[in-house]
Amino acid sequence: DSGVTQTPKHLITATGQRVTLRCSPRSGDLSVYWYQQSLDQGLQFLIQYYNGEERAKGNILERFSAQQFPDLHSELNLSSLELGDSALYFCASSVRLNYGYTFGSGTRLTVV
Amino acid sequence: AQKITQTQPGMFVQEKEAVTLDCTYDTSDPSYGLFWYKQPSSGEMIFLIYQGSYDQQNATEGRYSLNFQKARKSANLVISASQLGDSAMYFCAMREGPNNNDMRFGAGTRLTVKP
């Protein structure tokens, strides 16, 4: 157990729907990062939060949004889902900016 | 532009032998960090080793070592005495700058250890 908790582990939903992925960072870690891993795009950085504030944005679609709550857990919201959104979504956390990440086990999203 | 390049989509190694996984990077920032992660078939991402751009010595962690050649901008991972459990995808990654906000990953190398 890495200490980063992601729920759910698997999610199957239909096109056009909206889902929420949840992440609890490792105790003491202030930064949360979201990544999308698909077969054709590899690991893509989506967004980062630090202590509740958005710190950086990567290749995140406008249909996607995220937030980090006062207890530091984070949620990634994916709406108007398309087949191409099927991927493994990782959350990672780190204790400080110049340190490595600890990844959660991921949420496998399948859009049908 | 691609920042991290892993040119070996797949590699094979005999059990108990050493293997080198290649990684080259591109940055103009003098301060950066290089990382290697392992992703077994179960899907989780496991941190292996870290090398800072100002580190004078190559990083080592058990059977893992990082062959850091700064002038060539390469950060190859060396796994010694390969084990069957080393079969996995391996990703090289980089964070740039003192206040870097995200880590960029290479495309990965799939390592298969043969018995």
Residue B92: closest CA among B56, B53, B43, B47: B47
Task: Kindly list the residues from chain A whose CB atom is less than 8 angstroms away from the CB atom of residue B102.
Answer: 33, 45, 48, 56, 58
* pLDDT the model gives residue B97: 73
Query: Is residue B1 scored above 60 in pLDDT?
Result: no
Q: Does B101 touch chain A (CB under 8 A)?
A: yes
For the stretch A78-91, pLDDT in tens is 999 999 999 999 99
For range B41-70, the mean pLDDT: 93
Confidence category of residue B99, pLDDT binned at 50, 70, 90: low
Nearest-by-CA chain B residue for A46: B102
Q: Does B84 touch chain A (CB under 8 A)?
A: no
Selected residue of A34, A41, A47, A98 to mutate for chain B interface (largest B Cβ count, 10 A): A98
* pLDDT the model gives residue B96: 84
For the stretch B63-79, pLDDT in tens is 999 999 999 999 999 99
Selected residue of A38, A43, A105 to mutate for chain B interface (largest B Cβ count, 10 A): A43
Q: What is the mean pLDDT of chain B?
A: 92
* pLDDT the model gives residue B98: 65
- Express as a percent the part of chain B with pLDDT over 70: 95
> Counting beta carbons within 10 angstroms of the beta carbon of residue A7, is it exposed (0 to 12), middle (13 to 18) or buried (19 or more)?
middle
Nearest-by-CA chain B residue for A34: B102
Query: Is residue B101 scored above 80 in pLDDT?
Result: no
Low-confidence ranges of chain A (pLDDT < 70): 96-99
Rounded Cα distance between A103 and A1, Å, is 10
Most confident of A87-101, B46-60, B74-88: B74-88
Rounded Cα distance between A38 and A46, Å, is 13
